[in-house]
Structure 1
Amino acid sequence: MIRRLLGATFAATAGFALVSALPAAASTAVDFAGAVALSNCSGSVVKTATAAADDPALVLTNGHCLEEGFPDAGEVLVDQPSTRTFSLLSADGSGAVGQLRANRLEYATMTGTDAALYRLDVSYTQIEQSYGISALELAERPSAGTPISVVSGYWQKIYRCSVDGFVHELREGDWTWRDSIRYTPECQTIGGTSGSPIVDAGSGKVVGVNNTGNESGGECTMNNPCEVDEQGNVTVRQGINYGQQTHHIPACVGEGSRVDLNRPGCELPKPGFSLLRP
């Protein structure tokens, strides 16, 4: 399922839970620091390794979590005005410590990947000084077998599992995503976990963004994504959930936390990008 929760609102009194089917030794103490809740999804305050402390902070979520609805297949949004608000969670997940506000939607798409980046009206330093919360750093591509934590700000839950493998193409309805992250079965993410950061449990850095799962065994339909390999063979894994890679984002983020799709090494889909199916 594209894990957006339609028509929902964040309740700071919902409490939190830690969902884990792995031994405690499989991960470090990943908590809710940096996690945010949207009106219908989850997200996180993120930074690149080269970000300046006084740069405007960025929030990462899914492209399908936009307030105005899902982007069309092939649609890429860049540098749009926004007043989106986010509830910043306490590190222990017991509730919101403050509200953050965007002034731009820097980037969003559901083509090739399922990601959105909002630029806030406050800096990383201001967030740390006001709330004692540091941004999560975007990391390199994970490896199969990496222990991960999917941190949902909306539900105040942490799902713990491992990277099971990678999917050449993941298809759901009109949308196709490349090199998706497949979770081991322990991560039973639900509606509202869309946009949750996938955190490497060893480093505490973000390696992906949670976005979907196959609910009822359907093939390539809404709420039932399918896997397609290089030869076009289709595999359906009912009950298995997925996220999208984020290692390609830092190359596209420049000075002042602005997304520049023409930066050297930037591989994010650009406006007019076409992902043709065989």
Structure 2
Amino acid sequence: MKKPLAGALLALLLTGAAAAPAVASAPQDTADRAAAPASRDRAATAVAVDFAGTVALSNCSGSVVRTPSSLPTDPALVLSNGHCLETGFPAAGEVVKDQRSSRSFTLLNSSGSKAGTLRASKIAYATMTDTDVSIYQLTKTYAQIQSQYGINALTLDDAHPTQGAAIKVVSGYWKRIYSCNVDGFVYRLKEGEWTWKDSVRYTSSCNTIGGTSGSPVIDTATGRVVAVNNTGNESGESCTVNNPCEVDESGAVTVRQGINYAQQTYTIVPCIGAGNVIDLNRAGCLLPKP
């Protein structure tokens, strides 16, 4: 996983006293956020991507998200990783649903400045099985967030992302934007005890670091969220924690040191019903059940 960071570790990093991950340099991609890297004919239609709607957690990144059918009066949702939960990593096969939470999130505006603080009412859904996702329900509606802070939620795409698509990974924790492309899709991505299906593999310029876990991955042609950033192979080990390996349909294992990955989010959309309720029995919902 792109390790979640505790406050103490952040302080060490900012003073240069920590060994890893090394992040002393300034953000490298934020000035470029209005333009996508060249990607076939998609670059001509690229939309501006900034920090509006992203959030910083205590240890990770995230974003306020909606489905294409969510209503302004629905309670807002925050998307992050399962491994970013305040309760710790869910075990393989574990699903968390409708668990009370009062976690707070720092909401960012387009420039990356703090717009306000949001608070959860519950963990609506979380797992590290098949995918690596957490969805928090907030105490405010989308309309209330827009009225109070002038911030709109990001929309989850309901379609599978496209190989070669220009994307940006937007970290609210570090206030940093990474630009790259979808390099391909991984049949199975295995890390420690966890296995994820149909993961997104980035091209090498998305060299995400600890604290970027949970960042929305935005397709620059549509401005929609197509994945959630979650891991990368740090030291070249095979299938160990912080060193995921790729496993194909025949069981062959490939290790790509320095390459990073995300989990697709279109699979979440069929599982969210009226009122933004997570309903795992809805038609088309394939998320793991408790």
Residues 136-157 of structure 1: per-residue CA shift (max 9 Å, x gap): 0000211100000000000000
Q: Is 1:109 the counterpart of 2:127 in the alignment?
A: yes
Question: What are the within-5 Å matches in structure 2 for residues 88-99 of structure 1?
Answer: 88-93=107-112, 95-99=113-117
TM-score normalized with structure 1 length = 0.92
Question: CA 1:253–1:10 in structure 2 vs 1: closer, same or farther (change >3 Å)?
Answer: farther
Question: CA 1:128–1:16 in structure 2 vs 1: closer, same or farther (change >3 Å)?
Answer: farther
Partner residue in 2 for 1:147: 166
Same amino acid, percent of matched pairs: 61
Q: Which runs of 4+ in 1 moved over 2 A?
A: 6-11, 13-28
- Name the amino acid aligned to 1:22: P
Question: What are the within-5 Å matches in structure 2 for residues 48-67 of structure 1?
Answer: 48-67=67-86
- Name the amino acid aligned to 2:37: L
Alpha-carbon distance in 2 for matches of 1:34, 1:10? 23
Instruction: Give the unaligned 5+ runs of structure 2.
Output: 15-23
Alpha carbon RMSD of aligned pairs, Å?
Answer: 2.1
- Name the amino acid aligned to 1:101: R
Partner residue in 2 for 1:22: 37
Partner residue in 1 for 2:6: 6
- Paired residues, what number? 269
Which of 153, 158, 180 aligns to 1:135? It is: 153
Alpha-carbon distance in 1 for matches of 2:280, 2:8? 33
Check the 8 A contact 2:142/2:152 in 1, yes or no.
yes
Residue 16 of structure 1 deviates from its aligned partner by: 6.0
Q: Is 1:77 the counterpart of 2:96 in the alignment?
A: yes
Question: CA 1:8–1:128 in structure 2 vs 1: closer, same or farther (change >3 Å)?
Answer: farther
Partner residue in 1 for 2:243: 224
- Name the amino acid aligned to 1:113: T
Residues 7-48 of structure 1: per-residue CA shift (max 9 Å, x gap): 45889x999652569359944310111100000000000000
Question: What are the within-5 Å matches in structure 2 for residues 233-272 of structure 1?
Answer: 233-271=252-290
Question: CA 1:202–1:9 in structure 2 vs 1: closer, same or farther (change >3 Å)?
Answer: farther
Kindly indicate which of the two structures has a greater share of residues assigned to helix. Answer: 2
Instruction: Give the unaligned 5+ runs of structure 1.
Output: 272-278
Alpha-carbon distance in 2 for matches of 1:132, 1:7? 28
What SS does the aligned partner of 1:125 have? helix
- Name the amino acid aligned to 1:34: G
Residue 241 of structure 1 deviates from its aligned partner by: 0.1
Alpha-carbon distance in 2 for matches of 1:173, 1:220? 6
- Name the amino acid aligned to 1:3: K
What SS does the aligned partner of 2:29 have? strand
TM-score normalized with structure 2 length = 0.88
Alpha-carbon distance in 2 for matches of 1:241, 1:44? 19
Alpha-carbon distance in 2 for matches of 1:68, 1:8? 18
- Mean Cα deviation higher: 238-247 or 28-37: 28-37
- Name the amino acid aligned to 2:135: L
Partner residue in 1 for 2:184: 165
Check the 8 A contact 1:17/1:156 in 2, yes or no.
no
Partner residue in 1 for 2:19: none
Check the 8 A contact 2:2/2:209 in 1, yes or no.
no
Check the 8 A contact 1:35/1:153 in 2, yes or no.
yes
Alpha-carbon distance in 2 for matches of 1:171, 1:183? 16
Partner residue in 2 for 1:276: none
- Name the amino acid aligned to 1:134: N
Residues 213-232 of structure 1: per-residue CA shift (max 9 Å, x gap): 00010000011000000000
Residue 264 of structure 1 deviates from its aligned partner by: 1.1
